[in-house]
Amino acid sequence: MLVRELRTRPEPWRPYAAGIRRRWLVWFHGPEWVLKWTAYYLSRWALLEVLEYLSIFSVLIAVIFYFSESGDRAKQKHYQAWQVINTAQGKGGSGGRIEALQELNADGVPLTGVDASAAFLQGVSLPHARLSRSNFSGADLRDSDFSRSDFSWSDLQSANFRHAKLNGVLLANANFSDADLAGAELRNSDLSGARLTNADLRDADLGGVRWGRVTDIRGANIYGVRNPPDGFASWALAHGAVSVRGDD
């Protein structure tokens, strides 16, 4: 809130100067006296008060424009993020895709159908992401976090999910052929219709996994799986899976 102080009229020079005890101090008090009179006249000048109100009003207008254009700024930010992702399609390395994907997901933008094949995305964090029908084949996703995301109908062939967090993920009809899931957390995930041909599941945490309609598990290595659901290991071995300590 703007508060203006109405200044009292300063003393004339003679009474003011008479109060100065040492005459050599007049040179210092003279400019002070001039400034007091200047401030007095300016405090009574209505134009300055109007200008102060206008400066406050301009700030208010700037704030209104800033918030009114927030939607356009968000669209521009999302467009640039998608541009980074699409430009780097099919290329190795990150190419800024980790930041772009995380930014879009944080803003609640669906990532359905995104193509990040062969990308280096180690440590990417995309919890609750909508990634159905996406392509992460051959991608390096070690130590990533996809908790409670949707990977249904996605191409995850030969992807490296070592020690990734896939808890509560919808993996229905996803293709995990030749994928590396060693040490990954898959607790309470849905593997209905998923293809796990030749997948490496060693030491993976399968607690609460829904596996009843897994399409193919031939050649998958289930050595040391943690918390396997009842009947899973025997069923997997009966349908072509193996349990081997080493990579062979």
The pLDDT tens digits of the residues spanning 68-92 come to: 655 566 788 898 999 999 988 877 7
Question: Which range has the worst mean pLDDT, 6-10, 40-44, 80-84, 236-240?
Answer: 40-44
Sign of CA dihedral 104, 110, 115, 120: positive
CB 175 within 8 A of CB 153: no
Orientation angle between helical segments 46-68 and 70-87, nearest 10 degrees: 40
State the pLDDT confidence band at 163, using cuts at 50, 70 and 90.
Answer: very high
Query: Quick check: helix, strand or coil at residue 175?
Result: strand
Look at residue 109 in the predicted model and tell me its pLDDT: 95
User: What mean pLDDT is predicted for residues 147-160?
Assistant: 98
Predicted TM-score (pTM) above 0.75:
no
Q: What are phi and psi of 240, to 5 degrees?
A: 105, -5
Mean pLDDT over each residue of the chain, to the nearest integer: 86
CA 176 to chain centre: 26
| Cα distance between residue 169 and residue 173, in whole Å | 12
Over pLDDT 70: what percentage of the chain?
78
pLDDT higher than threshold 50 for residue 226: yes
CB 225 within 8 A of CB 206: yes
Residues 6+ apart with CB under 8 A from 110: 130
User: What mean pLDDT is predicted for residues 136-152?
Assistant: 97
pLDDT tens profile 169-205 = 999 999 999 999 999 999 999 999 999 999 999 999 9
